[in-house]
């Protein structure tokens, strides 16, 4: 039997994949990241399943639970918020399970930066404005390599989705401006995208820190920065009558 690392999606229990939800229904053991995963997702778990909140556990404890369950032939789901590949701290779990010869399958999920775009009703990649999305974070207890410091990334003036940093918003703003974004660059903050209590705040680099402080938002929020949020753009070639592609000729 395999251990499944499953992306829970951003919060809304309907934003987990069908595959992920099927696994949750069948799981004998579920270990979920309680600090961010919406507990409503666990309502589909079968009666008698053992449910652990990893927020109170160490890596060794998580691995011990997985190892024991795997030995007993049980189906284990390790549920991570959003997509496990983004700030999911899964690599150390994967490496540890590999040394123990425990097979792992990963089921991707909807990352919160995409639920944020949906909440904002916003495309991140507007032609003529930005064709690049940078996923990053401000340095916290986890160090960020020098070449990836916010100020260095800001030089691209691309669309940026900044995780794990809303509690340090003033530092984020200072680095972005120092790095090259114009001070009036639009910013949107989405807290708990796709949850019932979702909140959207909009401003400019110069105003957003004050707006966010007034709303007392200091966690579980995405910072989106870039001209796409407020900008004219070129129409997409994809739907243009003058643009032929694999499925369509130029329209006369
Ligand atoms: N793997 C997750 C990210 C985990 S790091 C993913 O793919 O989304 C945790 C950070 O993700 C939070 O600090 C916040 O910046 C962001 N986040 C998680 N859920 C969110 C949500 N529903 N709305 C906005 N930001 C969210």
Q: Mean pLDDT per segment of 10 residues, for the chain of length 252 residues?
A: 93 98 98 94 97 95 96 97 96 95 97 98 95 95 91 96 96 96 96 97 95 91 96 71 72 66
Give the Å distance between the CA of 245 and the centre of ligand 1: 36
Q: How much of the chain is helix, strand and coil, in % rounded to 5?
A: 35, 20, 45
Residue 252 has a pLDDT of 63
Give the Å distance between the CA of 121 and the centre of ligand 1: 18
Is domain 3-107 annotated with CATH 3.40.1010.10? yes
Atom from ligand 1 closest to the CA of residue 164: 13
Asked if domains 3-107 and 112-229 share a fold, the reply is: no
Residue 250 has a pLDDT of 72
Interacting residues of 146 by C-beta distance below 8 A, sequence separation 6+: 152
Torsion, Cα of 117, 143, 149, 136 (10° steps): -10
Domain ranges (residues) in the chain? 3-107, 112-229
Give the Å distance between the CA of 164 and the centre of ligand 1: 7
d(CA 198, CA 81): 16
d(CA 105, CA 92): 15
d(CA 197, CA 133): 26
**Closest alpha carbon to 2 in 83, 109, 106:** 106
Give the Å distance between the CA of 60 and the centre of ligand 1: 24
Give the Å distance between the CA of 235 and the centre of ligand 1: 31
Alpha helices per DSSP H over the chain: 18-26, 59-71, 91-99, 112-120, 150-154, 169-179, 208-214
Task: Assess whether the C-beta atom of 185 lies below 6 angstroms from ligand 1.
Answer: no
Residue 84 has a pLDDT of 97
Task: Assess whether the C-beta atom of 97 lies below 6 angstroms from ligand 1.
Answer: no
Give the Å distance between the CA of 222 and the centre of ligand 1: 7
8 A C-beta contact, residue 87 and residue 35? no
112-229 falls under which CATH superfamily?
Tetrapyrrole methylase, C-terminal domain (3.30.950.10)
Task: Assess whether the C-beta atom of 220 lies below 6 angstroms from ligand 1.
Answer: yes
Here the tokens at position 182 are 């114009």
Residue 245 has a pLDDT of 74
The residue assigned the tokens 């003036």 is: 157
* φ and ψ of 124, to 5 deg: -85, -15
Here the tokens at position 34 are 């309680």
Residue 110 has a pLDDT of 98
8 A C-beta contact, residue 130 and residue 158? yes
Interacting residues of 217 by C-beta distance below 8 A, sequence separation 6+: 166, 189, 191, 199, 201
Task: Assess whether the C-beta atom of 11 lies below 6 angstroms from ligand 1.
Answer: yes
Task: Assess whether the C-beta atom of 194 lies below 6 angstroms from ligand 1.
Answer: yes
d(CA 250, CA 242): 5
**Closest alpha carbon to 10 in 95, 84, 100, 94:** 84
Task: Give Dmax over CA atoms of the chain in angstroms.
Answer: 67
Residue 235 has a pLDDT of 73
- The model's pTM is 0.93
């Amino acid at each position: 039997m395999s251990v499944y690392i499953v992306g829970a999606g951003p919060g809304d229990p309907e934003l987990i994949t069908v595959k992920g939800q099927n696994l949750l229904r069948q799981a004998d053991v579920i270990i979920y990241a309680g600090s961010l995963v919406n507990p409503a997702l666990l309502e589909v778990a079968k009666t008698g399943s053992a449910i652990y909140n990893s927020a109170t556990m160490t890596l060794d404890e998580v691995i011990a639970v997985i190892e024991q369950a795997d030995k007993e032939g049980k189906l284990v789901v390790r549920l991570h918020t959003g997509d496990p590949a983004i700030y999911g701290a899964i690599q150390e779990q994967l490496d540890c399970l590999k040394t123990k010869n425990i097979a792992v399958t990963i089921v991707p999920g909807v990352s919160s930066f995409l639920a944020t775009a949906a909440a904002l009703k916003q495309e991140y990649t507007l032609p003529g404005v930005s064709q690049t999305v940078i996923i990053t974070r401000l340095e916290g207890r986890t160090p960020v390599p020098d070449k990836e410091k916010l100020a260095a990334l800001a030089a691209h003036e691309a669309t940026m989705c900044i995780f794990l940093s809303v509690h340090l918003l003033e530092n984020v703003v200072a680095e972005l401006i120092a790095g090259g974004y114009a001070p009036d660059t639009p910013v949107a903050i989405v807290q708990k995208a796709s949850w019932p209590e979702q909140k959207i705040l909009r401003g400019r680099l110069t105003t957003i820190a004050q707006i966010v402080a007034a709303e007392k938002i200091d966690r579980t929020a995405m910072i989106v920065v870039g001209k796409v949020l407020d900008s004219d753009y070129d129409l997409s070639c994809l739907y243009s009558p003058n643009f032929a592609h694999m499925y369509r000729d130029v329209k006369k």
